[in-house]
Structure 1
């Protein structure tokens, strides 16, 4: 009965009085090995729980059909209190952060090093640790832009559980990806799963800037946009974060909804072949179709047919 909150001694005592109702309480002292003090404490707590009744001369146990639901209700109430406390960890988190001796180099901040607004994270393990921390602390919104033709499998494996936990807590996630990512089966599967869990996803033909923004308060940007393995900058300065958010919103407004592109009947998203790219480039950079076709190395009719297929 430990799952119901009773110790082994308390369960033994309760079962004894179920088997031996209306017997003197002091009779139990010689029955079990836990001695008089242990028996007295167990009897006292069982009386407090209303699982034993009577007095020292005549003691009996509450019927199991009443006792078990009563204990279940008590345990569930305690669990609900704990859950409510766990959903509001921010005072604890703020207190711990005040005590933390942060070894990260600070590029700006107050004179004593507190309240740094820009941190350089050059170890990818540190970057992921900060992502975990910020995702856990997020209360309203996460903005993400991922400029990859194929979403890295390591990022998917690490990021999906974090994102799903945020979504289940009611945190809004808006995610920008490249159109080319939809051509990769594993990337597309990952995005579908995020979308099914409530993430808002939009697709851009051109996307070069990687960014993460948490509650419009903290942003993570790559140190080198051409080599994200070099690490990230953690930014908490309000003006800089505001600029990142503004850029994200402009990109978001100019993109296409993921659900629209991937809906049944929306058509398969494909890239142009090298020949198609060459023909369209030639046709669009000259004043006459004949000249464009000549530059593309084909007849005018073939060039027009190739270009028409892309409409």
Structure 2
């Protein structure tokens, strides 16, 4: 068997071997693998069961086939990224685990230096929005080289723009690089678009992501700010200076940055409304208008079914359409397809 390239996607070597077998031999009985691989019948049953749970194998015991790679791989990548995000958030707040273990000690617990509340802590909880903004101001004042920003909002809030713009301008005038990631849907909001145009004109690099769920701030690749609760940013933020955790945040940002589209390309003069659609959204719009089943459209677009349907929901919102038929008609009228 060839090397196990799918281990990074969460599959064991045996699971990848079986998946590849059914890619090469579709519509064969599940029991056929017993004579191909050295592992026993019980293990083979477990492997097939897990691949079915992952929706990588379909059919029954008499006829089994594998999900197309263009559907399977994006789905596995999305699931691995979600799991990584959950783990990273748990690792950035280890103190509940520490306190639980300390309660089981019979000896008096010594005072730890550099805990989450200490002045030199590698991780601090900032549970008041005024405190969060004070830390942003402090970090922006001291930054020397680069600020990384990811804003997962459909529209930037007036408060955020009013507070952030003067800080960004001061940083850019001092020669600090700013790289800013925003959602494609933010370009539909006139105030957000105007703000981003001004920031871009001042020298910031901006890219637009089809999907963006992480709120991130990183200063000089040394200090990161992440929300305690992504769904309720009013709960505050985590200030992280531990190098391994900051490195993980930077790696996540760089992957999102590499997959995003340059802001200037999407907002070039004369590009029209179609420029507001990302390449992925244009593919989905085409298949939404020409394919009757979402499963087929997702496969042809090379993305998971969930991602495909999320793009459709975004397109309906952009077109202000009540249903897909109306969206298809409006898209044709605008020359989008």
So what's the TM-score if we normalise by structure 2?
0.51
Please name the residue that 1:242 is paired with: 247
> Of 110, 113, 120, which residue of structure 2 is paired with 1:111?
113
Cα distance in 2, alignment partners of residues 265 and 174 from structure 1: 25
Q: Is 1:173 aligned with 2:178? A: yes
Residues 194-245 of structure 1: CA deviation (Å, up to 9, x unaligned): 1111000000010000000000000000000111111100000000000000
Cα distance in 2, alignment partners of residues 213 and 164 from structure 1: 17
Bigger-Rg structure (1/2): 1
Change (3 A) 1:181 1:111: same
> Of 194, 201, 206, which residue of structure 1 is paired with 2:206?
201
Question: Would you say the 8 A contact 1:144–1:175 is kept in 2?
Answer: yes
The gaps in structure 2 that reach 5 residues or longer are 1-92, 99-110, 298-324
Shift of 1:303: 11
Change (3 A) 1:303 1:137: closer
Cα distance in 2, alignment partners of residues 207 and 134 from structure 1: 24
Question: Would you say the 8 A contact 1:132–1:162 is kept in 2?
Answer: yes
Say how many residue pairs are matched: 192
Change (3 A) 1:239 1:302: closer
Change (3 A) 1:257 1:125: same
Residues 271-310 of structure 1: CA deviation (Å, up to 9, x unaligned): 98xx9997677434259xxxxxxxxxxxxx9999789765
Shift of 1:264: 1.0
Please name the residue that 1:86 is paired with: none
The gaps in structure 1 that reach 5 residues or longer are 1-104, 288-300
Change (3 A) 1:229 1:281: farther
Cα distance in 1, alignment partners of residues 216 and 120 from structure 2: 22
Shift of 1:267: 2.3
Q: Is 1:251 aligned with 2:253? A: no
Please name the residue that 1:182 is paired with: 187
4+ residue stretches of structure 1 with deviation over 3 A? 105-110, 275-284, 301-311
Q: C-alpha root-mean-square deviation of aligned residues, in Å?
A: 3.3
Q: Is 1:283 aligned with 2:293? A: yes
Change (3 A) 1:305 1:156: closer
Per the alignment, in what secondary structure is the counterpart of residue 198 of structure 1? coil
Cα distance in 1, alignment partners of residues 135 and 94 from structure 2: 15
> Which structure exhibits the higher relative contact order, with contacts defined as CA atoms closer than 8 Å and separated by 6 or more residues?
2
Question: Would you say the 8 A contact 2:288–2:328 is kept in 1?
Answer: no
Shift of 1:130: 0.3
Cα distance in 2, alignment partners of residues 118 and 248 from structure 1: 19
Please name the residue that 1:215 is paired with: 220
Question: Would you say the 8 A contact 2:184–2:277 is kept in 1?
Answer: no
